[in-house]
């Protein structure tokens, strides 16, 4: 298996460019279902320990169905599969440019939740236009054991998010393990209380915000990802969910720039235009850098050949 590693604002993306599963040529959402059902070991071989870790989002580069698209992609991590991944699309474009496969300009990318457009601005800078994002429920209060009542919004940005009002602790790296612990408890409490996204979808990402932060950004966030790791980037789908909530509250106008900073200090410049379905079409600009080209080896006698899943 040949992979290219990059990071977007510190958040790693590992793209399988050779040696992935053959998922046929059906719609990308069907291919993701087939990946999960029959070829899940490719996911664990690629992103689980000992070859990788739960901070990384994996991506399978696919041929698109739609000939106007540059590529298709299926994102996954140590816990399962993602709908979309904003930092991952930025990493994908930068990787394709690094490989000499694309030129600057706009590229349509098929994902399991729809087509996104991403513009390669320079070798490392990408502007992503995400799928329509929206707030699903506002002011939801859940009782969290040991914490008490926690209130926030449920929103879709390509994945399901619970956006907590404020933060229980300062958003600094020294608090990462406590923030991870508290956000995991909130995620469990949401599930126990039956709070879901549309159609009963699991809310697998939890966000805390410091608005405004101590820096000159508009907001700093902490994002708990499904595998239990925190997003080192400001999270493209999480920032999309945030824009949807800001728009719904009348706190951000269309085309106004929102600078979202992550807990490691990396930034996305974000804005939105009004979507056809009543939500927002987020635009997210960020930078990615390639840092590795690897041939993964799977020896027959290796007891952890398929990864520690």
Residues within the interface to ligand PYC (CB under 6 A) = 11, 57, 82, 85-87, 159, 225, 231, 233, 235-237
Based on the residue annotation, tell me whether 225 is a catalytic residue of this protein: no
Dist. CA 157–CA 89, nearest whole Å = 14
Q: 48 an active-site residue? A: no
Both tokens of residue 9?
Answer: 């604002």
- Shortest reach from residue 52's CB to ligand PYC, in Å: 14
Task: Dig out the tokens for 192 from the structure.
Answer: 């126990």
End-to-end CA distance of the chain: give it in Å, rounded. Answer: 18
* From 52, 225, 235, 245, the catalytic residue: 235
Q: Which is nearer to ligand PYC, 11 or 110 (CB)?
A: 11
As a whole number of angstroms, the distance between CA 215 and CA 236 comes to 20
Q: Which residues pair with 140 in a beta bridge?
A: 152
> Least CB distance from residue 68 to ligand PYC, whole Å?
23
Contact 185, 147 (CB under 8 A): yes
User: What are the tokens at 120?
Assistant: 């390669």
The pair phi, psi for residue 245, each rounded to 5°, is: -70, -40
Helical (H) or strand (E) element with 125:
strand 125-129
Phi, psi (rounded to 5 degrees) for 239: -70, -35
CA angle, corner 170, sides to 169 and 171, nearest 5? Answer: 110
Residues 6+ apart with CB under 8 A from 200: none
Taking alpha carbons only, the member of 241, 203, 204 closest to residue 219 is 241
Contact call for residues 229 and 187 (beta carbons, < 8 A): no
Quote the tokens at residue 217. Answer: 């950004």
- List the catalytic residue out of 46, 69, 85, 245: 85
Q: Which CB atom, from 4 or from 82, has the smaller least distance to ligand PYC?
A: 82
- The minimum distance between CB 116 and ligand PYC, in angstroms, equals 11
How far apart are CB 39 and ligand PYC at their closest, in Å?
21
Q: Select 226 or 307, whichever has its Cβ closest to ligand PYC.
A: 226
Residue closer to ligand PYC, measured from CB, 6 or 237: 237
Instruction: Calculate the dihedral angle through the C-alpha atoms of 115, 15, 257, 116, rounding to the nearest 10 degrees.
Output: 0
Which residues are the active-site residues? 85, 235
């Amino acid at each position: 298996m040949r992979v290219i590693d990059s990071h977007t604002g510190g958040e790693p993306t590992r793209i399988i460019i050779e040696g992935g599963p053959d998922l046929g040529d059906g719609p990308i959402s069907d291919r993701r279902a087939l990946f999960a059902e029959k070829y899940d070991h490719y996911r664990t071989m690629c992103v689980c320990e000992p070859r990788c870790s739960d901070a990384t989002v994996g991506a399978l580069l696919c041929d698109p169905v739609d000939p106007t698209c540059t590529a298709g992609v299926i994102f996954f991590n140590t816990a399962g599969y993602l709908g979309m991944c904003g930092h991952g699309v930025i990493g994908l474009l930068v990787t394709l440019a690094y490989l000499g496969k694309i030129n600057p300009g706009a590229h349509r990318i098929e994902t399991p939740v729809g087509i996104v457009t991403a513009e390669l601005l320079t070798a490392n800078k990408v502007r992503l236009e995400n799928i329509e994002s929206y707030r699903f429920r506002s002011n939801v209060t859940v009782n969290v054991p040991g914490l008490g009542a926690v209130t926030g919004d449920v929103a879709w940005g390509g994945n399901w998010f619970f956006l907590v009002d404020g933060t229980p602790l300062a958003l600094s790296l020294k608090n990462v393990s406590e923030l991870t612990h508290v956000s995991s408890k909130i995620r469990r409490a949401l599930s126990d209380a039956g709070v879901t996204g549309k159609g009963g979808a699991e809310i697998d990402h939890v966000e805390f915000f410091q608005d405004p932060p101590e820096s000159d950004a508009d907001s700093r966030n902490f994002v708990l990802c499904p595998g239990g790791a925190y997003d080192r980037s400001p999270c493209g789908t999480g920032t999309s969910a945030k824009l949807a909530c800001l728009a719904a509250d009348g706190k951000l106008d269309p085309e106004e720039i929102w600078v979202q900073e992550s807990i490691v200090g990396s930034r996305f410049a974000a804005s939105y235009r009004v979507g056809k379905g009543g939500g927002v079409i987020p635009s997210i600009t960020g930078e990615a850098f390639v840092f590795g080209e690897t041939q993964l080896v799977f020896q027959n006698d290796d007891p952890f050949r398929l990864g520690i899943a």
